[in-house]
Structure 1
């Protein structure tokens, strides 16, 4: 019967007999003392412990639960004794010793790792070359061929993810198929330090030699690219500048309309959107400042790139144009404030009230008549409709509610805005909308109009229909879009039939 203890070695847990632990502990302490003055001693000891744990795991893989003195002794024999590493180790000695150990105990099994240290991207090709004992160039050529076949890139990425990186000296020895011993680990660390020092000195030397060449090369590339971009900036800026001037001059009409004309200019469209003269002037000035500023700025910048030197006149021009763009933005903000003031007062007026004593009322569309002809449908790409200097708008809101008596009551309400109440009332009264009662039919037009001087937004028409108790309103031959059971909109479109409104619907 022997006493056992639990230890952690190389990130693994083992149950080990006391005499075996004592032997292993003495061995590791002796190694640590021998490497105490060595560079990278901590890394060497960590790799030795990892290798020792790996050997013990292999020896107890047959179901053995406890590590005995026999397994520890075999692991120490595999790693090597401390007295074997007292002398400095060079590459030839390490190589001869490693070959002797491989011959004595058979070749060490290779493991597939990524060789990032000697690789170009992720070390996949160099790792495979080490594993297959071939030139890395051959592996790279194979991957290039696979890339043209369509699956080389995916294969490389999968190997990059799956194959581990050879981080430790022990991993690098396994990657090359060399025995992992105390001596080989120490040799690998010393060789890695020499390689790093050599590469650092070589890099510094190359930087000193080629620094000026690279600087000149990049400078020349920058000059060429600057001239290319300069030509591009000048061409597109000049094109944009000419297009902007032609569009803003008012001589070219590009906005589709219907009615009095087929097209209108951007200036006329802006006047419709901004009816206030003060706001229009501010926005028009802002458009010119910004619209001219950006093309001129990039054109001047292109000239600066072509010349290659910053002349004082060019710098002054760029600053002046940039200032004009900023001024244009400020002017546009003032124009926005002026427009907001024009919407500060909203007024609703009741224009007409119609009544009907019919038992049922049928809501239908009032047909649009042009040259004594009924217009059934009209389609096109027109952005806005203007007739007889009035803007034609589509969409009339409606609301149903209970009548206070036995009659149908139809109220026509106009809403508009203005800087003052007087101006808002004036704009509301200028709205035109047609509706009438003919027998038991309520005819409502889906269109309404307002003067062109009042602009295209901020106007509204609402029809309120009061339905008496025990009477019905039939929605017949008119296009409607209900939003609730008692609210909706009348518009020009495919009519619907037999939508019945009674006292339970509002």
Structure 2
């Protein structure tokens, strides 16, 4: 059973085994002795202790874990022994002495370099991390800010998430150098200006020569290690594979950052465009309000959409940063759970709004207005759509919708969803039926919206003029408003539909019947002056044709034709023919 000791190292408490404590104490005392006459001794010792505390923290899983002698040995191997870095006065004599610096593996980490900064040190920190001159990073920020405008958001996010290099150890890690006694000493001594310029130059030259010699020796040592097969072939191969995996991971991280950043910027622009629509008049946003049958506040819906989509993209951006930056500062559990809560609330809110919006179309009701027309069985009725400059496609019921002010200055919906039907009647006089339909969350609301539809027509002699659009005030919202015009004509009446009614006619009246005289019979509509060659049925199905030659259906790899000669069907493997001679089937197999 070993005795444990509580120690305070650089402001952090640790539980340490007694043997490990004694070894650490002797190690720190040796370091202090080696820097007895060194300039900045206190600062060097403090930074060394801070670095040791940081290395201990990396190896401690929880606050109760005891540091053993194994962890102390690992830290000493990283930091190096004090005698490895001693450079005494003899190196200034004629014969230079060679000191050997112990290498330790170090990975470059991203910090903000506030010592060489104009704003927050992001550019200089990226310059150290990427090995690029800081001026190029700053030029890139200028291009991003004045080019696409993304630089501001990226800079702010990096300013918030990337930690500042405060301690000497962090400043050393920022440049990719190993954090050991030698580099800590060098970093601190560089900050003092008490030595004259001449001595500094001499010391620099000597330091460079010593460093080069040390690097050379270390390189040779490393080469000897490789040559002596300290690493097997498979270990080397694994290192190469891991290297490529790291490159791929960094590339994925860059993609995630770009996708997340652009998505967030687009969402912010969209939220400001929609959410502040009452302050800034943006064309086209009135259509969103008209489609909002549930009367949900636009700013609230846009805010929920922003959180529901933006939070996942923020974490995507954060994940990309985590991949690229090993020591990225965490946003904290409070922030994570807060964002998660906001996201869940946004999803639930959008679901509720969606259900409410869908409920506004739960019922479809109609109101009917009928009126007699002074048209008898011996008359000829001409039907046409009135001219108007209101809708873009004024004679097409499939693509005409507009919001404009009426003659009273009221915002009004204009819609060309009009359908014309013809039915025979045994009455002596014709009559017209205007059926108006609309959706609503209940029967009463649907009836109310249907009654608020305005539709006009006029009969001048034997000419019936129909409006190509219906109208309703915008407060009734877009609720699938439709108007069906049903003409009940006595049997024997002749009807002639103008060419501009072509897209409004029911499918029972072929489009090629327009501008022809049609007899209304009990069986249906008969064209008096249509040429048989003009027979054609227009149906809204691709690759299907019905005309005087029969029915023809074409597929990507098949073909079907039905006419007076029989049935012919072909595919890549089978051919079928049915005619007066019987059934003939051919197969490539």
- TM-score normalised by the chain length of structure 1: 0.48
**The structure with more helix, counted as a fraction of residues:** 1
Bigger radius of gyration: 1
- TM-score normalised by the chain length of structure 2: 0.42
